[in-house]
Structure 1
Amino acid sequence: MFNSVTIVGVGLISGSFALALKEKGYTKHVIGVSRTKESEQKAIELGIIDEALPLEEAVKKSDLIYVAIPVDVTIPVMQQIMKIVTDKQIVVDAGSTKLVLCKALANYPMRSRFVATHPMWGTEYSGPEAAVKDGFAGRACVICEKEKSDPKAVEIVENIYKDLGMHIVYMDAEPHDVHAAYVSHIAHITSFALANTVLEKEKEEDAIFELAGGGFESTVRLAKSSPAMWAPIFMQNRENVLDVLNEHITQLRKFKACLEKENMEYLYELMENANKIQRIIK
């Protein structure tokens, strides 16, 4: 379908996207754009990209441009892309925040060539080595402001994500950021905080390694995520993250009060209420 595809960022999401496109036969040639030569070389060695070029040169050679970089640098990079893109190309981003970006690109003449997406998948790992060809399967992909994008461009992007095994959810940018704070961003910030708590209180690293069970590992796993990626997400979605963080702190205080007052009945009630999540997440 595409003579050439450019991925801006050659890490987990963009690298996985490139590998999947190649496996599915969407393109045989992927160009990589990265801040570091080391990442570009590693992506070439792993077969993620076929060549590395500067941004402007890469964009001009590609039918599809896929941007998956930290959200604080996404806006200036996307603005640069939207100045040179033509009506024959499609630009897609994969960022975890959408409102600020969509506002920044709203008045560009080629706005319709941009499809705002958020594939709801990721791991705690980063860099080209983290890329996997089947990572998107079974996950949701949010498409924001669908009505502002060219219908054919949207259809092509939808079909790609569906072919990668994803199901599509449509949202406006603002509610997307609210929901992302509730189901994704708070999980990461809680994991970072829990890791810091354990590191502060438990000074024996051997004890953490030997005694940490599956529950701790699964809860704190996200604390291994890249600060370069997640700090900008928290700041860009600050109001929504603060809202859910305040509620989370309120819930923690309820558990704390139960223990302080030895209130077994209310402690049981809090946990029983939490069990309702089983109806939603199997």
Structure 2
Amino acid sequence: MKNIYIIGIGLIGGSLAIDIKRNDPETVIYGISRKDATLEEALSLKLIDKKATLDDISNADLVILAIPVDATVKLLPTVLDKISDSALVIDAGSTKLDICKAVENHPKRRNFLAMHPIAGTEYSGPSAAISNLFVGKTNIICEVEKTTFKLQEKALELFKSIGMRIRYMNPEAHDKHIAYVSHLSHISSFMLGKTVIEKEKNERDIFDMAGSGFASTVRLAKSSPEMWTPIFRQNKTNVIETLEEYINNLAHFKKLMESDDFEAVFDEMKNTNHIKDILEGIS
């Protein structure tokens, strides 16, 4: 795939560009963005080789959408309209059901592969792009059977070349599971940050007293609201379900403390220590 067009040159799109180019220097990476300043920055950082527009993607071998999920839902049908019959389109959104539904009856549905690389940081924009972001990370692929086999093979070869592990899942299961392991953790981080900001009016106190535990827990609160609000909107039902369970657990913990049942508090934390075994090996 020699002509690759990336729509959205931020953390994910830019990091994909870096690794794809490193593995195949002959590939030409084109960048597409609503903002010319973003493309200029991407050019200066050598994430892309050339600027492009949507009208140019008829020349694409591969189009990667790495934009907010609400924008993907709107733009994906248009992208499929414009590509050649041999081109592949993939998206990297954190929700999959609405995106897959948006093109389920499109004449070129066979040219689309829905994916979600479980990788990232709390930073955004072209300057956030880093090399080897995807090494050892899981890439969830949904509805692979709806993509023509030859394009599946090309995509899997690309994903494996930049170090991704592959897992297959249907969109409904993906959105349900990701609400627990990703979306809830972002909400928790945002709300912890909100609570501390509202309680500690003197920001110097926060700075002086914040330890590594607070910093690591609130890290995700630095994530882009422009990206995460559409994710919460698209996965609203699953996110609300996870929030209800989380709130119930918080309320239970509070009651244990109110009743001075610290033996039960100990047991709650001890039982939860099992999470370290589950997460062992995840960087």
Shift of residue 26, structure 1, vs aligned partner:
6.3
Please show how residues 19-34 of structure 1 align to structure 2 within 5 Å: 19-25=18-24, 27-34=26-33
1:38 and 1:207 map into 2 onto residues whose CA distance is 37
2:225 and 2:40 map into 1 onto residues whose CA distance is 23
2:170 and 2:253 map into 1 onto residues whose CA distance is 35
Contact 2:60 2:84 (8 Å CA) reproduced? no
1:160 and 1:217 map into 2 onto residues whose CA distance is 35
Please show how residues 189-228 of structure 1 align to structure 2 within 5 Å: 189-228=187-226
Contact 1:56 1:81 (8 Å CA) reproduced? no
Name the counterpart of 1:151: 149
Contact 2:95 2:175 (8 Å CA) reproduced? yes
1:48 to 2:47 alignment: yes
**2:79 aligned partner, one-letter code:** I
Name the counterpart of 1:112: 110
Name the counterpart of 1:134: 132
**1:20 aligned partner, one-letter code:** D
1:167 and 1:127 map into 2 onto residues whose CA distance is 25
Contact 1:6 1:31 (8 Å CA) reproduced? yes
Name the counterpart of 1:245: 243
Partner secondary structure for residue 147 of structure 1: helix
1:34 and 1:166 map into 2 onto residues whose CA distance is 26
1:88 and 1:229 map into 2 onto residues whose CA distance is 30
2:84 and 2:240 map into 1 onto residues whose CA distance is 39
Name the counterpart of 2:37: 38
Contact 1:23 1:133 (8 Å CA) reproduced? no
Where structure 2 has 5 or more consecutive residues not aligned to the other structure, the ranges are none
The change in CA–CA distance for 1:244 and 1:129 in structure 2 (over 3 A counts) is same
2:161 and 2:172 map into 1 onto residues whose CA distance is 27
Moved more, 17-26 or 191-200: 17-26
Name the counterpart of 1:95: 93
Partner secondary structure for residue 248 of structure 1: helix
**1:259 aligned partner, one-letter code:** M
Contact 2:59 2:83 (8 Å CA) reproduced? no
Alignment counterpart, residue 184 of structure 1, candidates 171, 182, 185: 182
TM-superposition CA deviations, 1:15-38 (whole Å, max 9, x none)? 000111000116431111111111
Moved over 3 A (4+): none
Name the counterpart of 1:69: 67
TM-superposition CA deviations, 1:251-271 (whole Å, max 9, x none)? 111111111111111111111
RMSD of aligned residue pairs (Cα, Å)? 1.0
1:169 and 1:3 map into 2 onto residues whose CA distance is 26
**1:74 aligned partner, one-letter code:** T
Count of residues paired in the alignment: 280
Shift of residue 279, structure 1, vs aligned partner:
1.8
Shift of residue 56, structure 1, vs aligned partner:
2.2
Shift of residue 195, structure 1, vs aligned partner:
0.3
Shift of residue 156, structure 1, vs aligned partner:
1.4
Partner secondary structure for residue 63 of structure 2: strand
2:173 and 2:120 map into 1 onto residues whose CA distance is 21
Where structure 1 has 5 or more consecutive residues not aligned to the other structure, the ranges are none
2:185 and 2:237 map into 1 onto residues whose CA distance is 16
The change in CA–CA distance for 1:75 and 1:27 in structure 2 (over 3 A counts) is farther
- After TM superposition, the score normalised by the length of structure 1 is 0.97
TM-superposition CA deviations, 1:189-211 (whole Å, max 9, x none)? 11000000000101121121222
**2:129 aligned partner, one-letter code:** A
**2:73 aligned partner, one-letter code:** I
Name the counterpart of 2:258: 260
Shift of residue 80, structure 1, vs aligned partner:
0.6
Contact 1:146 1:170 (8 Å CA) reproduced? yes
Partner secondary structure for residue 135 of structure 2: coil
- After TM superposition, the score normalised by the length of structure 2 is 0.97
TM-superposition CA deviations, 1:215-256 (whole Å, max 9, x none)? 111110000000000000001000000000100001111111
1:133 and 1:53 map into 2 onto residues whose CA distance is 23
2:2 and 2:143 map into 1 onto residues whose CA distance is 27
